[in-house]
Amino acid sequence: MLKKWYQYIIIVAMLVFISTGYLLHISDATADKKKIFVCYCGKWCECNFEANKFGKCVCGDNLFPSDRRPAETLKYQCGCETECDCGSKSDKEGNCVCGKPMKET
């Protein structure tokens, strides 16, 4: 009888150990992701707009939060330089989230 209790305790301890390791791995994997805001205008526009702040896209649609990685290369970016940190990027010319014209990269 005592032997069965040891087996149950060992099984429960192993499950706790494995689940704790799994949860710690998930938090480490998502810790380096930066939340960005993207435009979901669809195939009719294909602006590929993204920014670090909420606002409007170059096509006029609202931006939505996303967990995807930021795009590396897009044709236009925020022309504010160090004035703001909106991080707006797009494949279409227009204004960034802060309202100033975007410049070609």
Question: CA-CA distance, 32 to 79, in Å (whole number)?
Answer: 26
- Considering the domain architecture, whether residues 18 and 63 belong to the same structural domain is answered as no
The SS3 of residue 79 is coil
Residue 17 is part of which domain span? 1-32
Average pLDDT score over residue span 34-40: 84
Residues 87, 53 within the same domain:
yes
Q: What is the pLDDT of residue 26?
A: 54
Q: What is the mean pLDDT of residues 24-51?
A: 72
Same domain, residue pair 12 and 23: yes
Arithmetic mean of pLDDT over the chain = 79
